[in-house]
Chain A
Amino acid sequence: MNAHAPLPVPPAPARGLGLHLGRLGHGFGAKRVLDRIDLDIPAGQFVAIVGKSGCGKSTLLRLVAGLDTPTAGHIAFDGPRDDAAIRIMFQEPRLLPWERVLANVEVGLPASVKGEERHSRARAILAEVGLAERAGEWPAVLSGGQRQRVALARALASGPRLLAFDEPLGALDALTRIEMQGLVERIWQEQRFTALFVTHDVSEALALADRVILIDAGQTGGHVALDLAVDLPRPRRRGSAELAALEGRILDTLFSS
């Protein structure tokens, strides 16, 4: 983990939220979706979660974000988790079409921020994702990538300590996707939240994450099939031999089961 090469900006102290999953399991009725997941994720770590479709990745994120209650096991956080501590970003931007871009970002601010400060804070975050001049537009006129950047700004607005991403770049074209990966990486380096990043793209996982977790849907539900540390300097060069080797390992495990 400490093998990082010098970064363009020195990493801020981790203010992420560490979490521990103990024998976590979940089912819908008789259907077992997750089975005995044990994971310790330190504060500020960037964890990518990969796995075949339907193996329970989204379910895992929903449990962590508190959208569903696990049917077995437990989730513990290092510290209090208030309303604004955990945010989730979905595959779809899920912006309110009837509110302007700025108001959409303000949705992410805690209620304690009032009046003019809501606008200025939202504007600052919008500038962070490179959309400052689109603040007054309707979401409908933005491109898919821009909408997803607004959704990212909204997720960041409260300064979350844990950010769960559910295939947020899955619906974007390849070039926009690379661009967004750079943005996510940069913001993570600045803000040092704990990132849980679900993706079906193994190379994307390797480009971004400190650690890649492979979930495999077994007979009794999804379990951790591989837990791989990625100790490579950032920004990572696409197509490097090290990344290719790791990718091969993950894909082998993925298809051997």
Chain B
Amino acid sequence: MKIVVFVKVTPDTAATVKVDESGKVTWGDAPLVLNPWDEYAVEAALQTKEAHGGSVTVVSMGDESALEAIRRALAMGCNDAIRIEDPALAEDDSLSTAKVLAAAVNKIGDVDMVFFGRQAIDGDTGLTPPQTARLLGWPYIGLVSAFREIDPDGKKLTAERTIEEGRQVLSTQLPAVVSVAKDFGEPRYPSFMGIRKAARAKVPVWSLADLGIEAPAVKVRLPELMNPPKREVQCEFIEGDTPEEIAEKLADKILAEKVL
């Protein structure tokens, strides 16, 4: 099978992200990492390769910092990598990104499955995966938590997806686009052999010209960003001589404050 997994570099989850005086988002000197949701996508892609053969290509759109995410995916076991960068892509929205990614899938050619993480922890839209599927004209299954069947010859795919109400089982045909949910299973650690290869990997860079497309129009802009309002939290210790007395006071308080 020919598998593509799209990844993105994001600030580490431990970073303090805020809007600075100039209105730009900053995360100080916190490291950039492979978007944590994408780790699940890489894991699912690698498991699919291990079960059905073939290769996994990791693709990321972004400047050189995207190499951080690409190297991580290579160290986990992806076979090769492509980075997409073009000065005309300085500004983007989810749809313009999806247009570029769909073009990349077409250029790679003969792709059977495309994997995404559920969303990026920075933009948090979760829109790029279905948009890419739509542009490719392929079926899309979001939030996959397990595969029941992947049949590359019969071009069939049956997957379970996790939704708030429970689990759904969906069947569709290949090629297809999926996004992977956390309950797919813990992503593997990079191997040392993978690390050695990833550290040395020369990652080809594709421009818009290489993809054979014009810079897609950006429709959604973010004219202003604001920090969330500071939350005022008051802490009150409820005291009493016995646990029962404390519990009673707490219950009264909860009722008085109309929490319940």
Are A and B physically bound partners? no
Q: Which residues of B contact A (CB under 8 A)?
A: none
Q: Which residues of A contact B (CB under 8 A)?
A: none
